[in-house]
Structure 1
Amino acid sequence: METEHYITEQQVAKITALSLSKLRSDRHLCKGIPYHKIGRTVRYRVSDIEKFMTDCRIEPVARS
Structure 2
Amino acid sequence: MNETPFHERHDDELLTLEDVAKILKTSEHTVRWWRQRGTCPEFFKIGKRLYTTVGELRRFIRGQRLASRPVIGRPKAV
TM-score (norm 2): 0.62
In structure 2, which of residues 26, 29, 34 is the aligned counterpart of residue 26 of structure 1?
34
Gaps of 5+ in 2: 1-9, 72-78
Q: RMSD in angstroms over aligned alpha carbons? A: 2.2
TM-score (norm 1): 0.73
SS at match of 2:45: strand
SS at match of 1:44: strand
Gaps of 5+ in 1: none
In structure 2, which of residues 49, 56, 69 is the aligned counterpart of residue 59 of structure 1?
69
Percent identical pairs in the alignment equals 27
Look up the match of 1:36.
Answer: 44
Larger radius of gyration, structure 1 or 2? 2
In structure 2, relative to structure 1, the CA distance for the partners of 1:11 and 1:32 (3 Å cut) is same
Look up the match of 2:15.
Answer: 7
